[in-house]
């Protein structure tokens, strides 16, 4: 009734704004102003750039989905230490590795509760059955839940998880053991990624009984700091805190994701204080000049790139791909699209990676060279191509459509006509996976610090059908080098293999690395705590919110102190 009345009188600009206001006020009596203010002060609204494809990060590699799900709803056996990226305990309180690296035993915590929601109330705490269920669903094609949501587990299929893990064995209720077919130096780090979440076996059993198995991935039950309350695709996600969170008390009572795809829309909502935090902000200077807001950044493990579908002519021709690489003025792209927020990529790996090569590759901008390569390739008169530009903003590419126009103008000089293509994000990903594109502006944000997390998901043969290899490029020598790198724990030897792999990429050019960028967010200063991570999704587990009056008091005190010093 209230919603209809508001719409009829046009007192708000968007339906979403109404929904969010109603959600925040509905939690307390309408006539109690003090109670309403308390609820608002204990809620955080995050303006996100897109809707999640699913609520189970095992099923996708999309950063938008990971941001909304992994660290909010779930936990993993291991986690990364924010100080030095080393592995630390999470759901597993400790672990042991045999000398040959082929058996890893995990000892689970005994005090971890699953989320209690409107749609499911767990009767027990986490145990070994949940861990075994979570991984056997991925490993075993005959598992009753393997095919429930399509049977694709991109990250795990890309790293050949099923070929690596021989068995997940239950030792007792709180001890499980992974038996591997061979040692793998990235195995533990992969278990700490955003994809290796632990699901509830009890919830799965319940859904099987009521024949609603698909709800496992759309109405989630995890052990994370928040639990799902409500989701409306394209509008909002509402989370409530997990009152029983094992790691620490969660300070935010309500976390709302306001889905706002347009970057100007997110900025407007921040300035109007309709959002407390926004993703991928524009107008950094305007934000930093405002006393109520702050701009956060983190140097990310990422890469933005131009990828070619090498299964489609003329992009199956190396000379054509190299011609395009010389015809694009990447310095101009960096200046216009990124400004000082990124550096020109000299390889697939960012310079912060221990496997980055000191032998930087510089790609010369030369129309003369580009034309000569096209001539040799048999395309002297040029051709027409479709360039797909993702419709959302990511740190590795804050404006793909604008970048596409710059590339379109550059390639016109060598008689290549570029048609720019874009779709709604989920449709874009689906059609991209089907290989409908000629070339695409996309990118990758690493899930963990191991360099294999760039090499394998982006360009391995396995990733052509299950992961991020949108070039559909496959090179056996490249894959062999990756396998050798994973088979040893000697960092010097691993780096040697990875640098050989980088040379193969530069020679065959299935994709052109463009930039390694920082990731930014803007927030109201009342929101406290670290949200951005150098890799993986964002994390609201340690966030709190000061009452507005408290911040005002602190600000006034600081201003008075500054004035007294003059």
3-state secondary structure of 483: helix
**Strand ranges inside 263-352, DSSP E:** 277-279, 293-299, 302-308, 342-344
CA distances from 257 to 69, 200, 240, 542 (A): 11, 24, 12, 17
Residue 169 belongs to what H/E stretch? Answer: strand 165-172
Q: Mean of the pLDDT values across residues 160-189?
A: 96
* Lowest-confidence region among 18-22, 144-148, 341-345, 358-362: 18-22
pLDDT value, residue 467: 64
Structural domain ending residue among the three candidates 198, 216, 234: 216
Q: How many CA atoms within 13 Å lie on the side-chain side of 247? A: 23
Does the residue 52 lie in any domain? no
pLDDT band at 39 (very low <50, low <70, confident <90, very high): very low
Q: Return the pLDDT at 357.
A: 78
257, part of any domain? no
Residue with tokens 């201003």: 559
Clarify whether residues 212 and 306 are in a common domain. Answer: no
- Which is higher by pLDDT, 21 or 441? 441
The 10s digit of each residue's pLDDT in 131-157 is: 999 999 999 999 999 999 999 999 999
Task: Verify that 211 and 307 share a domain, yes or no.
Answer: no
Tokens of 283: 């107008």
Compute the residue count for the chain: 566
Residue 245 vs residues 111, 242, 537: alpha-carbon distances, Å: 9, 5, 19
**d(Cα 373, Cα 324) in Å, to the nearest integer?**
9
Residue 25 pLDDT class (50, 70, 90 cuts): very low
The number of angstroms, rounded, from the C-alpha of 300 to the middle of its chain's C-alpha atoms is 11
| Cα separation of the two ends of the chain | 56
Any idea which residue has 């009984």 for tokens?
209
Cβ atoms of residues 43 and 255 within 8 Å: yes
d(Cα 158, Cα 152) in Å, to the nearest integer?
A: 10
Mean pLDDT of the chain: 89
Residue 562: pLDDT band with limits 50, 70, 90: low
357 and 456: one domain? yes
pLDDT at 489 over 90: no
Q: What is the pLDDT of residues 179-211, one digit of tens each?
A: 999 999 999 999 999 999 999 999 999 999 999
Neighbouring-strand partners of residue 128: none
pLDDT of 361 > 70? The answer is no
Instruction: Give pLDDT, residue 446.
Output: 86
58-62, 318-322, 408-412: segment of lowest average pLDDT: 58-62
Q: Are residues 205 and 323 in the same domain?
A: no
Residue 36 has a pLDDT of 44
DSSP letters of 422-442?
---HHHHHHHHHTT--SEEEE
Q: Per-residue pLDDT for 31 more than 70?
A: no
**Same domain, residue pair 404 and 308:** yes
pLDDT at 557 over 70: no
Domain count, the chain: 2
Q: 564 burial class (0-12, 13-18, 19+ CB within 10 angstroms)?
A: exposed
Confidence of residue 553 (pLDDT cuts 50, 70, 90): low
335-348: average pLDDT: 90
Q: What is the mean pLDDT of residues 260-281?
A: 95
Question: Cβ atoms within 10 A of the Cβ of 169, count?
Answer: 14
Task: Report the pLDDT value the prediction gives residue 559, as an integer from 0 to 100.
Answer: 52
Q: What CA–CA distance (Å, rounded) separates 141 from 494? A: 32
Are 312 and 208 found together in one domain?
no
Res 205: pLDDT: 98
pLDDT digits (tens, 9 = 90+) for 306-328: 999 999 999 999 999 999 999 99
Instruction: Say which CATH number the domain at 493 has.
Output: 3.10.105.10
Rounded to a whole number, what is the largest CA-CA distance in the chain?
77
- Token pair belonging to 199: 């699901």
The pLDDT score that the predictor gives to residue 558 is 52
**547 and 276 Cβ atoms separated by less than 8 Å:** no
Residues 193 and 333 in one domain: no
**Local structure of residue 488 (DSSP, 8 states):** -
Report pLDDT for 394. Answer: 87
Share of the chain above pLDDT 90, in %: 77
3-state secondary structure 225-263: CEEEEEEECCCEEEEEECCCCCCCCCCCCEEEEEECCCH
Tell me, yes or no, whether 323 and 469 share the same domain: yes
Q: What is the pLDDT of residues 452-478, one digit of tens each?
A: 989 999 999 999 987 689 999 999 999
Return the residue matching tokens 């000398």. Answer: 99
Distance CA 20, CA 4 (A): 15
Residue 102 counted as domain residue: yes
Q: Is residue 313 part of a domain?
A: yes
- Classify residue 398: in a domain, yes or no: yes
- Residue 427 CA to residue 437 CA, distance in Å, equals 13
In sequence order, the β-bridge partners of residue 441 are 306, 389
Of 224, 216, 269, 229, the C-alpha closest to 243 is 224
Q: Tell me, what's the pLDDT at 84?
A: 81
| Pairing mode, strands 544-545 and 527-528 | antiparallel
Q: Is the pLDDT of residue 362 over 80?
A: no
In this structure, is residue 11 part of a structural domain? no
Last residue of some domain: 199, 216, 233? 216
Cβ atoms < 10 Å from Cβ of 29? 10
What pLDDT score does 32 carry?
Answer: 47
Residue 118 belongs to domain spanning: 57-216
E strand segments, 120-162: none
Burial class (CB in 10 A: 0-12, 13-18, 19+), 283: middle
Which has the higher per-residue pLDDT, 250 or 547? Answer: 250
pLDDT tens digits, 367-409: 999 999 999 999 999 999 999 999 988 889 999 999 999 999 9
Residue 558: both structure tokens together:
């600081």
CATH at 156: 3.90.76.10
The closest of 30, 185, 10, 2 to 100, measured between CA atoms, is 185
**Would you say 171 and 104 are in contact if contact means Cβ atoms under 8 Å apart?**
no
Residue 32 covered by a domain: no
pTM of the model as a whole: 0.77
- Domain limit, last residue, from 485, 500, 518: 518
Decide: 363 and 321 in contact? Cβ < 8 Å.
no
356: Cβ–Cβ under 8 A, 6 or more apart, which residues? 347, 349, 350
Report the range of poorest mean pLDDT among 169-178, 424-433, 494-503, 546-555: 546-555
Q: Does residue 232 belong to any structural domain of this protein? A: no
10 Å CB burial of residue 291 (0-12, 13-18, 19+) is exposed
Q: Assess contact for 526 and 547: CB atoms under 8 A.
A: yes
What is the pLDDT confidence band of residue 40, given thresholds at 50, 70 and 90? low
Tens digit of each residue's pLDDT (9 = 90 or more) over 76-116: 999 999 888 889 999 999 999 999 999 999 999 999 999 99
- 537 phi/psi in degrees, rounded to 5: -80, 175
pLDDT in tens, 236-266: 999 999 999 999 999 999 999 999 999 999 9
């Amino acid at each position: 009734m209230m919603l209809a009345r508001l719409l009829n009188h046009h007192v708000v600009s968007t339906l979403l704004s109404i929904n969010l206001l109603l959600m925040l006020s509905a939690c307390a009596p309408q006539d109690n102003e003090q109670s309403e203010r308390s609820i608002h002060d204990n809620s955080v609204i995050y303006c996100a750039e897109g809707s999640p494809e699913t609520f189970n990060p095992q099923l996708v590699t999309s950063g938008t989905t990971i941001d909304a799900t992994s660290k909010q709803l779930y936990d993993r056996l291991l986690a990364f230490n924010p100080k030095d990226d080393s592995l630390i305990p999470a759901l597993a309180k400790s672990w042991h590795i045999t000398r040959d690296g082929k058996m890893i035993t995990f000892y689970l915590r005994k005090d971890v509760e699953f989320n209690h929601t409107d749609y499911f109330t767990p009767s027990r705490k986490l145990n070994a059955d949940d861990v075994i269920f979570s991984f056997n669903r991925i490993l075993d094609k005959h598992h009753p839940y393997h095919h429930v949501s399509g049977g694709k587990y991109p990250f795990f299929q890309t790293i050949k998880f099923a070929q690596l893990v021989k068995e997940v064995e239950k030792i007792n209720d709180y001890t499980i053991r992974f038996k591997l077919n061979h040692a793998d130096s990235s195995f533990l780090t992969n278990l700490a990624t955003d994809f290796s979440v632990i699901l509830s076996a009890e919830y799965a059993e319940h859904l099987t009984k009521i024949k609603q198995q698909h709800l496992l991935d759309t109405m989630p039950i995890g052990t994370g700091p928040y639990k799902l309350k409500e989701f409306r695709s394209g509008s909002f996600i509402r989370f409530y805190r997990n009152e029983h969170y094992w790691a620490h008390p969660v300070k935010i009572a309500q976390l709302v994701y306001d889905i706002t795809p347009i970057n100007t829309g997110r900025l407007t909502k921040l300035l109007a204080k309709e959002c407390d935090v926004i993703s991928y902000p524009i107008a950094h200077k305007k934000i930093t000049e405002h006393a109520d807001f702050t701009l956060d950044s983190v140097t990310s493990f990422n890469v933005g790139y131009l990828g070619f579908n090498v299964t489609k002519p003329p992009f199956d021709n190396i000379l054509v791909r190299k011609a395009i690489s010389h015809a694009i003025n990447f310095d101009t792209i960096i200046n216009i699209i990124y400004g000082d927020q990124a550096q020109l990529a000299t390889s697939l790996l960012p310079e912060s990676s221990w496997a980055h090569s000191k032998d930087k590759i510089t790609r010369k901008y030369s129309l003369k060279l580009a034309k000569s390569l096209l001539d040799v390739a048999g395309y002297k008169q040029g051709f027409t191509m479709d360039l797909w530009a993702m419709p959302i903003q990511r740190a590795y590419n804050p404006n793909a459509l604008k970048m596409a126009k710059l590339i379109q103008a550059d390639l016109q000089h060598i008689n290549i006509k570029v048609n720019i293509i874009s779709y709604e994000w989920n449709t874009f990903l689906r059609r991209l996976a089907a290989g409908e594109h000629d070339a695409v502006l996309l990118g990758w944000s690493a899930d963990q610090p191991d360099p294999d997390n760039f090499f394998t998901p982006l360009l391995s043969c396995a990733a052509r059908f299950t992961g991020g290899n949108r070039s559909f490029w496959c090179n056996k020598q490249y894959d062999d080098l990756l396998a050798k790198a994973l088979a040893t724990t000697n960092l010097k030897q691993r780096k040697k293999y990875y640098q050989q792999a980088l040379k193969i990429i530069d020679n065959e050019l299935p994709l052109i690395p463009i930039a390694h960028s920082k990731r930014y967010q803007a927030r109201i200063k009342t929101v406290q705590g670290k949200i951005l991570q150098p890799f993986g999704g964002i994390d609201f587990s340690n966030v709190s919110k000061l009452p507005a009056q408290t911040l005002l008091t602190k600000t006034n005190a600081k201003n008075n102190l500054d004035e007294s010093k003059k």
